[in-house]
Structure 1
Amino acid sequence: MISTGTIRTVVGIIGNVISFGLFLSPLPTFITIVKKRAVEDFSPVPYLATLLNCMLWVVYGVPFVHPNSMLVLTINGIGIFIEALYICIFFAFAPRRLRLKILSILAAELLFVGVVLGGVLGGAHTHDKRTQIVGILCVIFGTAMYASPLSIMKMVVQTKSVKYMPFFLNGACWTAYSLLRFDLYILIPNGLGALLAAAQLFLYFIYYRTTPKDDTKQNLELPQIVPTNAPEPLSSLTIEK
């Protein structure tokens, strides 16, 4: 008989694969940036937000904060690397004023994560306390990220078109992961993500037939929702109709 732990590991691996795909979803945007050697109207904020999100989940997943969270740790570690690469590309082709903005936000994020890490190590002396402190922060930032599709859902209702509808499977997978060995801090943001995904599918079936058919390609940069266990993301998606 397959144990619950084995099933949880398999689900976590699937979640890692899906999250990895979400991390790679902005690649077309960055290929465009490199080819044109300009960031144009693209914003670095979604990538900076996803980087912060991943850093917090890495802190959550390290053994001295929340033991036995290797799958949470690995995918968000990969996320840090990918988002850092995106930000470096963005920085290379951004005008000076935008570069300064990127540096200031990045410095603030690193300082914040450093304070969190120092605070839990110095002020919380048990795994439960450390998990609670970091977990609450992950819930706050993860919930904010998963709520980002709400504006897109509103647009779908107003336009009666699904051309702006992203689909996020990440939340459902990590929700199952959190329930197999109960983890409230993973469950809350990803449970919300799963509910939003269900709402998006519902809207898709309602408005699919009313989506206007045209030959014009339209792109919309959306916040990345990532992983997680974490939150996954957020990266940007390029939606084409």
Structure 2
Amino acid sequence: MAMIPMNHHTVHTLAIVFGILGNVISLMVYLAPVPTFIRIFKNKSTESFQSLPYLVALFSSMLWLYYALIKTNAIFLVSINSFGCVVEVIYCIMYILYAPRDARKLTIKLFVLMNVVSFVMIYLIIQFAINENHRVNFLGWVCTFISIAVFAAPLSIVVRVVKTRSVQFMPFNLSLFLTLSGVVWFAYGFFKNDICIYLPNVVGFVLGIIQMLLYGYYSKYGGVKDEKIEAGVVNIVVVNPLGTCEVFPISLDENEDIIEDVINQQIQVQKLGVEEKQEKSDDQTIGLQCVV
């Protein structure tokens, strides 16, 4: 089938349209954890939440912003990743402020290692060890590799859906959102003729389609609500489009309906209370574990 010919003006216009759409969708992704941090601020505690997803998101935004700046004529990448850097820095600062001592120390170490040392090393290598004509391509492939790794994070959810025959922990709207994001940024990269942008979003689009197909197939089954990973322990995984997640350890007290209450209403359970319950009874413990 012959390709529909498009002049330079049409291609440029389409790139602008998809760049704007990509910014809108990514903006909503970056703001997705806001309710979590409002809860952290109110409770003055990070509870069992993990900082790694936000550190990874910040690292990715920093690299893409650097890529956009040396590439030039990439205003939409500059705008959304500048916003992403600011938002993720705020998330990380709030986490450090309210995290317990061990979690705070680990977060600071990871931040220094990933967002300072690693980024500075990449910057120095590109600026002083890579020929000026190849800098954009080299950094672009680094960004591509990281983006593909982030997109691949929800694969564990796909495996769990197949094993449990339940879509309880793979919300359709998240799968749809992943697919739309992949389509929009693929189109932007395609019309900008930038393989480093559209290639990772092909992966995102394919994974999004797979998740929606699985949702359509397994939604007709009741499935099981949880899965025992080891004796007395049940691991339930919830991941949002950015790879960020929340951990809610609870004691069931032989009532499985509590699971849905935790997921839908995001009931807060203090870690100390859970440990006390575990010492007093042999009830199962549920943990929403992060997959990054």
Identify the TM-score tier after normalising by the shorter chain.
0.7 to 0.9
Give the one of 119, 129, 143 matched to 2:125.
119
Any stretches of 5+ residues in structure 1 without a counterpart? 226-233
Partner of 1:222: 239
Counterpart-to-counterpart distance in 1, 2:167 and 2:125: 45
Question: Residue 105 of structure 1 aligns with which residue?
Answer: 110
What's the CA shift for 1:195?
0.5
Going from structure 1 to structure 2, the CA distance change for 1:224 and 1:113 (only over 3 Å counts) comes to: farther
Distance, in Å, in 1 between the alignment partners of 2:125 and 2:19 is 29
Q: Provide closer, same or farther for how the CA distance between residues 188 and 159 of structure 1 changes in structure 2, counting only shifts above 3 A.
A: same
Of 115, 137, 140 in structure 1, the residue corresponding to residue 142 of structure 2 is: 137
- Whether 2:199 is the aligned partner of 1:188: answer yes
Match of 1:47 in 2: 54
Q: Distance in 2 between matches of 1:85 and 1:97?
A: 20
Compute the displacement of 1:132 (Å). 1.4
Structure with higher Rg: it is 2
Matching residue within 147, 154, 158 for 1:149: 154
Normalised TM-score (structure 1): 0.86
Q: Is the 8 A contact 2:68 2:78 kept in 1?
A: yes
Report the Cα distance in structure 2 between the residues aligned to 1:119 and 1:79, rounded to whole angstroms.
24
Structure 2: distance between partners of 1:236 and 1:71: 27
- For residues 42 and 69 of structure 1, do their structure 2 counterparts lie closer, same or farther at Cα, with a shift above 3 Å needed? same
Q: Distance in 2 between matches of 1:209 and 1:28?
A: 31
Q: Secondary structure at the match of 2:220?
A: coil
Q: How does 1:1-241 map to 2 (within 5 A)?
A: 3-62=10-69, 65-109=70-114, 110-126=116-132, 128-165=133-170, 166-167=174-175, 168=178, 169-211=180-222, 220-222=237-239, 224-225=241-242, 234-236=243-245, 240-241=263-264
Q: Deviations over 1:87-132 (max 9, x none)?
A: 1111111011111111111111212112222222223343x41111
Paired amino acid for 1:195:
V
SS of the aligned residue for 1:3 comes to helix
**CA deviation after TM superposition for structure 1 residue 237, in Å:** 7.5
The 8 Å contact of residues 55 and 76 in structure 1, kept in 2 or not, is answered as yes
Deviations 1:20-65 (A, max 9, x none): 1011111221122122211111110100111111111011100xx2
2:61–2:82 Cα contact (<8 Å) kept: yes
Q: Distance in 2 between matches of 1:206 and 1:9?
A: 36
- Secondary structure at 2:35 match in 1: helix
How many residue pairs match? The answer is 226
Change (3 A) 1:211 1:14: farther
Task: Please identify which structure carries the higher strand content.
Answer: 2
Give the distance between the partners of 2:20 and 2:43, measured in 1 at CA. Answer: 36
Q: Which runs of 4+ in 1 moved over 6 A?
A: none
Greater RCO, CA 8 A, separation 6+: 1
Q: Which amino acid aligns with 2:157?
A: I
TM-align CA RMSD: 2.3
Shift of 1:76: 0.8
| Aligned counterparts of 1:151 and 1:211: Cα–Cα separation in 2 | 20
**Aligned pair in 2 of structure 1 residues 55, 130: CA closer, same or farther (>3 Å)?**
same
Contact kept, 8 Å, 2:164 with 2:223, in 1: the verdict is: no
